[in-house]
Structures are given as structure tokens and as C-alpha cells.
Structure 1
Amino acid sequence: MRTGKNGTKKVTTDSKSTGVTRRGLLRAFAATAVIAAPTYSNAAGFLRGGGDIRRIKMYSGRTGERIDMIYWVEGKYIKESVQEVHRFMRDWRTNDVKFIDLRTIDVMAAAHNLLDSSEPYMLLSGYRSPKTNNMLRARSKGVAKNSLHMKGQAADLRLSSRSVSQVSRAAAACKGGGVGRYSGSNFVHMDCGPVRVWGR
């Protein structure tokens, strides 16, 4: 944990979120390792051969930053890479960094694999500080009071080469958490909370 000039916490961790990978995510990684066809029905049914690496590719339209890295190799998360993902997914409005739940990163990476796209995600929102979340709630009814973004457990993502429907179907096939379709705003919400799908 790091304290900023004004006494605010800049980095927080949540030990409960480390090292957890759900069966659905393993199946999704396995499906993309075993077959090349991007058919989401094939995400289930593979328990072994989940792949030797996991990779995440994103860019931020807000900060201009890009990230393209392997963060998991042969069953182990790479500490330095994961820390860089945390920093990249910070609240860009306040510059606060929070530990991003590894399950959420896995959902994002597995869905990207299923989409068979070389294009990086555009990250619209990762971690949100309570201040940012309250500001967004005042502007929109669609922002939850206790948003998983504030826990470092959610991300709002976009792929210009894939539709909201395609991205959401890939994320839902992972069965690793919640998936929200926001077609009007052209993004998909992914989190590691209860498995559910909403929106259109």
C-alpha cells in the first residue's frame, strides 16, 4: 500500500482475489488452445490443455497507454506483469491504483482468445475510486452504487472489429462472472462476480 501526498491510499490489495481460476475459464483457454475455430459452443468440455501462456492486450483512449504482455506462464502468474496490468487499469481520473482481481483478467483474456482477434481491447473503465464512481452515478442511472469496478473486479471493454453481441457471447461462454451488454454505448462489461448476463 502506498500513500499519496494528501494521505490517500494509492495501491490496495485483496488477498482473496489471488490465484483463483474458475473451471469455465480453464475450459475457455483449453478450447482456444485445442481448436482454432472461434465457435463459442466449444468453450466448454475441455478440462486439460489450458495452454502454457495467457496474454492480455489493451489500450486506453484516455491516457494513450498500451499494454501487450504475457501475465501467466505454465500455471503461474508473473508478478511484474500483473502489477503492470494493475497500473494500466487504474482510475485515470484520480490516478489511484488497485489490485485487479486475477479472475477478471482471466475472463478478459479468455474471451479475447475466443474472439480470435489480434486487435487489443480498448479499456473504457477498469478500477474506479469511490469518488469517480459517485461522480458517474450522478450522471447516469446505469452506474451501480456498489460497483465491482470499485473492488477492482470489473472492466468495460470494446473491440472495434467485433460487435457487442460477439464480445458478450465470448465472455459469457467463459462462465467466469457477470457480462453486461451495452450496445448503445458500444462496450461490454466483464466481471468476476456471480455468473449472469444482462443488457442488449
Structure 2
Amino acid sequence: MAKTNGSGLTRRALLGAFAATAVAATPTYSKAAGFLRGGGDIRRLRMYSGRTGEKLDMIYWIDGDYIKDAVKEINHFMRDWRVDQVKSIDLRTLDIMAASHNLLDVSEPYMLLSGYRSPQTNAMLRSRSRGVAKNSLHMQGQAADLRLGSRSVNQMAKAAMACHAGGVGRYSRSNFVHMDCGVVRSWGA
């Protein structure tokens, strides 16, 4: 005979109901973007710019919500400093950057080499280097070029590629990694 708890439910029925609730309440990430792995409950970006001398240490996402003012500060930090133009950086790019940084397990901030680029800046850089794309995702606010002193280009690229969320370019000669939220692909050496 099964024991009841006074409400007429057996222990087995209670455990079954609890298990069903726990399974139903467990979030599924089967369709979530891969870059959320390693993102955590708090997403933070730490960067500095050798060009402007600015530093940023910003929590921009907590428990599923982006913090509007924090994202606005990140957009300003990642502006095209050459022409002082700000564009909203795609949140997916920020998430890829944060998740990659977490996977690398470093406290060192990224050195931001390039975030948003105006069409004028992109054209100027393209005239100086064949490595700059004509329709660069930097002009859409969807890409960042980053460096870490304590990690190699290959280590950074592997972390970004582990996110399975966008493009990853290795620029070993220039010692930086390109991360974007475009089509999943990789290039460079």
C-alpha cells in the first residue's frame, strides 16, 4: 500500500509531479545561439582603446535583460573615433565578445582596435590595406577587431569560433582577431 501525505497523493505521485515540473521549467537552449554558452547570468565587457586612451568595464546584461545605459556607453566607446560617429553596435557582437572573453578565462581587458567604422573611414583603411572589406560589417556596427596581450591570436580565434555565432578572422601578422555576428565562417592564419 502506498503512503499518502494527508492530501490523498502518494509519495510517488508527488515525486512524479515534481519531476514533470522541473523538466518543464528547465530552460532549453537547443535553438539558442551558441554564443550564449559561456555568457553567464551577467555579461560584461572590459576594453581599452590605445587610440583614445579610454577604458571601459561595463556590465551590460543581467539575468536576460540588456541594460540600456550600459549599451549606450559601449556604443560610444566603440565609435569611429576618427570622425567621432557613434552607431549602435549589434548586441549579438557584444555577446560574442563577452562569451569569448569568458571562455578565455582572463581578467585582462580587450584592446579595441576597431569597432564601428563610418563609410569614409572604411574607404580610407581599404585604400591602405587589402585586408579591409568593401562592405565591412564594421560599417553596420556588427564587428570588432580585438587584441589580448596574454592570449595568442589562435587562442582568441578558437574561443570566438567555439561560440558558433559569426565570423572570426585571424590576423596573426597584425596580432588581432576580428569577431562579427554575420554568417558563421573563419579565415586567416
Normalising by the smaller structure, the TM-score range is 0.7 to 0.9
**Which of 162, 165, 170 lines up with 2:159 in the alignment?**
170
Deviations along 1:101-147, one digit per CA (max 9) or x if unpaired, are 00000000000000000000000000000000000010011111000
1:101 matched residue in structure 2: 90
Q: Give the AA of the match of 1:175.
A: H
**Which of 107, 110, 119 lines up with 2:108 in the alignment?**
119
What is the alpha-carbon distance in structure 2 between the residues aligned to residue 22 and residue 62 of structure 1? Answer: 36
Alpha-carbon RMSD across the aligned residues, in angstroms, is 1.1
Residue 37 of structure 2 aligns to a residue in which SS?
helix
Structure 2 stretches lacking a partner, 5+ long = 1-30
For 1:42-61, list aligned pairs within 5 A.
51-61=40-50
What is the alpha-carbon distance in structure 2 between the residues aligned to residue 145 and residue 193 of structure 1? Answer: 15
What is the alpha-carbon distance in structure 2 between the residues aligned to residue 93 and residue 26 of structure 1? Answer: 32
> How many angstroms does 1:27 deviate by?
2.1
- 4+ runs of 1 displaced by more than 3 Å? none
Residue 166 of structure 1 aligns to a residue in which SS?
helix
- Percent identity between the aligned chains? 72
Greater C-alpha Rg: 2
Q: Give the AA of the match of 1:123.
A: L
What is the alpha-carbon distance in structure 2 between the residues aligned to residue 114 and residue 121 of structure 1? Answer: 13
1:46 matched residue in structure 2: none
May I ask how many residue pairs the two structures share in their alignment?
A: 159
8 Å contact from structure 2 (residues 37, 99) kept in 1: no
Structure 1 stretches lacking a partner, 5+ long = 1-20, 30-50
**Which of 26, 31, 41 lines up with 2:36 in the alignment?**
26
Question: TM-score, normalised to structure 1's length?
Answer: 0.78
For 1:39-78, list aligned pairs within 5 A.
51-78=40-67
* Distance change >3 Å, CA 98–CA 188, structure 1 → 2: same
Question: TM-score, normalised to structure 2's length?
Answer: 0.83
